[in-house]
């Protein structure tokens, strides 16, 4: 007897390169657009996973495209544009893939692969500055775009050096508006570079902290917690030479080494200097939802924790439109002593498999329960459904008291990262039943309720990564 795996409908969102569209009024499918929703939802993700008949090697390899949905006076207008990176333009001209990337080696014979740089795909996240939008990619510098038209200005140095990288998970201090971020650099001494910018993108401060041990780690995100920054370095290390010689891709050269443990690094966010570092039992995380300092002076971290690095294989399979690996990451709360980086407590907050956690911008770095805290939203697997072969089909909400509410979207509906927009929660949804993309608006004060309204997007928006909300001021 042969076991036939039925393809799930989410694969249709990634099957074809995305089609751009100019500013287009969005048709309301259901409900009414809240009149107090004033601002723009931006979202980034890999929009082209194929060129010239060749598929990319990993979901992370696709060229980035930005969706902007502008809300004002009870109406919504959508715009969708590829980021015009140098690599995108060269490949567009050649009509074939020319570059290697995270999950694929450079095309061509071995002797032609060495020394070539990877393509900056600008596909991971967005950061709205006062006068421009940044499309972020952790392997290099961001690209600057026009906030209205989404036309690409080019690489945006942000006062950094051309060889620096700027991660896709900057943290904005809600009090000062200052932007904290990091990048990892190799060299004689591998190090974490730390950056602080103002809201216009002017560099205010930079510092570096050396990495311990041998090998390049994979650090995707970090956390702002009160007066601290915390970086957790999971035991994933790059096997350098196969990647440098392009015998194998970077993704295939990353090795899970649990014997190294996960290192917790605590940094003073004002001086950007090391406070403490300590190795704990191993885990892996892509994302944190938030961090803060509690009444005892301990740092608390909420993060999506995985037992190992199988999540990378799962994300590779997503690019094929069919996944066989089952991986469940869940929100955990960890408490640590910042003076020693020792973990004092660790507890799971969810059980069903979640990702892409978000708190409201005013809550970043702050303890839960404040006036501006609306809780954490995230995508969640459908309750009581087999996760085999599936992507996330529900939205979860964790309130400040620890209560989790899961809202099932009903099957064949695949939500992207949910984003807080004041009291509203916005998410792009791929509707596998109709083969079309939608924007759903939820009332964040009523977790578990039906969406307040649903809007039709004129083209398929491929499943993507991270977004942001820029309120109209
Ligand atoms: Fe991310």
Q: What is the pLDDT of residues 168-220, one digit of tens each?
A: 999 999 999 999 999 999 766 789 999 999 999 999 999 999 998 777 899 99
Tell how far the Cα of 318 is from the centroid of ligand 1, in angstroms.
15
Read off the pLDDT of each residue in 289-318 and give the average, rounded to a whole number.
Answer: 98
Provide the domain count of the chain: 1
The least confident of 74-78, 187-191, 206-210, 330-334 is 187-191
How remote is the CA of residue 285 from the centroid of ligand 1, in Å? 10
How far is the centre of ligand 1, averaged over its atoms, from the C-alpha of 439 (Å)? 21
Token pair of 196, please?
């602080």
Q: What residue has token string 């964040």? A: 444
Count CA within 13 A, CB hemisphere, residue 209: 23
**Dihedral of CA 203/209/214/220: which sign?**
negative
Domain-embedded: residue 383 = yes
Residue 387 sits at φ, ψ, to 5 deg, of -80, -5
- How much of the chain exceeds pLDDT 90, in percent? 89
Instruction: Check the annotation: does 270 bind a ligand.
Output: no
User: Span 72-89, mean pLDDT?
Assistant: 98
Residue 384 token pair: 């009581």
Assigned domain for 328 exists: yes
Structural tokens at position 423: 């009291």
For the cut 50, the answer to whether the pLDDT of residue 105 exceeds it is: yes
Residue 452, annotated as binding a ligand: no
CB atoms within 10 A of CB 420: 21
Q: Distance, CA 207 to ligand 1 centroid (Å)?
A: 23
Residue 91 lies in a domain: yes
Q: Is 87 a residue whose pLDDT tops 70?
A: yes
Query: Ligand 1 mean position to 221 CA, how many Å?
Result: 7
Separation of CA 296 and ligand 1 centre (Å): 30
**For residue 123, how far is its CA from the centre of ligand 1 (angstroms)?**
10
- Which 3 state secondary structure label does DSSP give 12? helix
- Residues 439-460: tens digit of each pLDDT: 999 999 999 999 999 999 999 9
pLDDT average, residue stretch 90-109: 93
pLDDT on residue 37: 97
| Side-chain-side CA neighbours of residue 299 (13 Å) | 30
CA of residue 38 to ligand 1 center, whole Å: 26
Average pLDDT, the chain: 95
CA of 112 to the centre of ligand 1 (A): 32
Is 41 within a domain? yes
258 vs 234, 236, 282, CA distance in Å? 8, 8, 6
Q: What is the pLDDT of residue 4?
A: 45
287 annotated binding-site participant: yes
Say if residue 359 is exposed, middle or buried (CB neighbours under 10 Å; 0-12, 13-18, 19+).
buried
Tell me: pLDDT of 434 over 60: yes
Domain membership of residue 377 as a residue range: 9-471
Judge contact between 181 and 202, C-beta under 8 A.
Answer: no
More confident residue, 418 or 111: 418
**CA atoms of 76 and 415, how far apart (whole Å):** 19
Tell me, in angstroms, the distance from the centre of ligand 1 to residue 142's CA. 14
pLDDT-based confidence at residue 245 (cuts at 50, 70, 90) = confident
Q: At residue 1, does pLDDT exceed 50?
A: no
CA 419 – ligand 1 centroid, Å:
14
**3 located within any domain:** no
pLDDT (mean) for 358-386? 93
**C-alpha–C-alpha distance, residues 299 and 194, integer Å:** 19
Res. 345: pLDDT tops 60: yes
Residue 2 in domain: no
Find the Cα–Cα–Cα–Cα dihedral 404, 314, 82, 395, rounded to 10°.
-10
Check residue 113 and give its pLDDT.
Answer: 76
Ligand 1 centre and the CA of 426: distance in Å? 18
Is the model's pLDDT at 240 over the cut of 50? yes
What does the pLDDT read at residue 2?
Answer: 41
Ligand 1 centroid, distance to 316 Cα (angstroms): 15
Distances in Å between the alpha carbon of 418 and those of 150, 195, 357, 406, 412? 21, 27, 8, 13, 17
Q: How far is the CA of 251 from the centre of ligand 1 (A)?
A: 16
Is 211 a domain residue?
Answer: yes
Cβ–Cβ < 8 Å for 442, 455: no
Termini Cα distance of the chain: 62
> Does some domain include residue 4?
no
pLDDT of residue 5: 55
Is pLDDT larger for residue 257 or for residue 117? 257
Is the confidence at residue 400, as pLDDT, over 70?
yes
Full DSSP string of 342-407: EEEEEEES-SS-EEEEE--GGGTTS-TTSTT---EEEEEPPTTS--TT----EEEEE-TTS-EEEE
Q: What's the 418 CA to ligand 1 centre distance in angstroms? A: 13
Please state the rounded mean pLDDT for residues 15-20. Answer: 97
Question: How confident is the model over 33-61, as a mean pLDDT?
Answer: 97
How far is 376 from 359, CA to CA, in rounded Å? 5
What mean pLDDT do residues 251-265 have?
A: 97
Q: What is the whole-number distance in angstroms between the Cα of residue 287 and the centre of ligand 1? A: 6
The token pair that represents 426 in the structure block:
């916005």
Cα of 410 from ligand 1 centre, angstroms: 26
Helix (H) or strand (E) holding 331: strand 330-337
For residue 32, the CA-to-ligand 1 centroid distance in Å is 31
Q: Is the model's pLDDT at 234 over the cut of 70?
A: yes
At 277, give phi and psi (nearest 5°).
-150, 145
For residue 466, say whether it is annotated as part of any ligand binding site. Answer: yes
What's the CATH code of the domain at 423? 2.140.10
DSSP-H helix ranges across 281-359: 310-318
Percent of the chain with pLDDT over 70: 98
C-alpha radius of gyration, the chain, whole number: 21
| pLDDT of res. 3 | 43
């Amino acid at each position: 007897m042969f076991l036939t795996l039925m393809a799930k409908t989410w694969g249709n969102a990634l099957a074809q390169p995305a089609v751009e569209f100019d500013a287009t009024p969005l048709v309301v499918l259901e409900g009414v657009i809240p009149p107090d929703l004033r601002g723009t939802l931006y979202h980034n993700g890999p929009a082209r996973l194929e060129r010239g008949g060749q598929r990319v090697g990993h979901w992370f390899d696709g060229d980035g495209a930005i969706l902007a949905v502008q809300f004002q006076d009870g109406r919504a207008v959508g715009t969708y544009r590829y980021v015009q990176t140098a690599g995108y333009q060269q490949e567009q001209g050649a009509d074939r893939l020319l570059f290697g990337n995270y999950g694929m080696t450079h095309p061509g014979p071995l002797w032609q692969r060495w020394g070539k740089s990877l393509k900056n795909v600008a596909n991971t996240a967005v950061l709205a500055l006062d006068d421009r939008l940044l499309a972020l990619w952790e392997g290099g510098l961001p690209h600057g775009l026009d906030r209205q038209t989404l036309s690409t200005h080019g690489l945006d140095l942000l006062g950094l050096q051309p060889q620096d990288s700027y991660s896709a998970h900057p943290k904005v201090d809600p009090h000062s508006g200052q932007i904290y971020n990091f990048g990892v650099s190799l060299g004689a001494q591998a190090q974490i570079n730390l950056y602080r910018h103002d809201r216009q993108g002017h560099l205010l401060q930079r510092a570096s902290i050396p990495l311990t041990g041998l090998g390049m780690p994979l650090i995707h995100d970090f956390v702002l917690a009160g007066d601290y920054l915390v970086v957790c370095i999971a035991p994933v290390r790059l096997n350098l030479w196969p990647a440098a010689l392009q015998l194998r891709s970077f993704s295939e050269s990353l090795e899970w080494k649990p014997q190294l443990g996960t290192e917790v690094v605590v940094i003073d966010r004002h001086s950007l200097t090391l406070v403490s570092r300590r190795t704990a039992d191993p885990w892996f995380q892509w994302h944190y939802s938030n961090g803060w300092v509690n009444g005892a002076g301990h740092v608390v971290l909420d993060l999506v924790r995985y037992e190992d690095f199988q999540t990378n294989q799962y994300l590779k399979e997503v690019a094929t439109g069919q996944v066989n690996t089952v991986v469940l990451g869940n929100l955990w709360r960890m408490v640590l002593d910042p003076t020693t980086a020792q973990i004092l407590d660790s507890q799971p907050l969810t059980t069903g498999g979640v990702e892409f956690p978000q708190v409201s911008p005013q809550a970043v770095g702050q303890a839960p329960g404040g006036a501006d805290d609306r809780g954490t939203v995230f995508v969640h697997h459908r309750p009581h459904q087999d996760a085999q072969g599936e992507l996330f089909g529900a939205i979860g909400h964790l309130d400040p008291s620890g209560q989790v509410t899961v809202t099932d979207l009903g099957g064949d509906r695949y939500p992207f990262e949910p984003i807080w927009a004041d009291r509203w929660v916005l998410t792009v949804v791929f509707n596998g039943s109709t083969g079309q993309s939608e924007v759903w608006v939820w009332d964040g004060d009523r977790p578990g309720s039906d969406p307040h309204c649903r809007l039709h997007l004129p083209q398929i928006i491929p499943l993507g990564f991270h977004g942001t909300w820029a309120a109209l001021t």
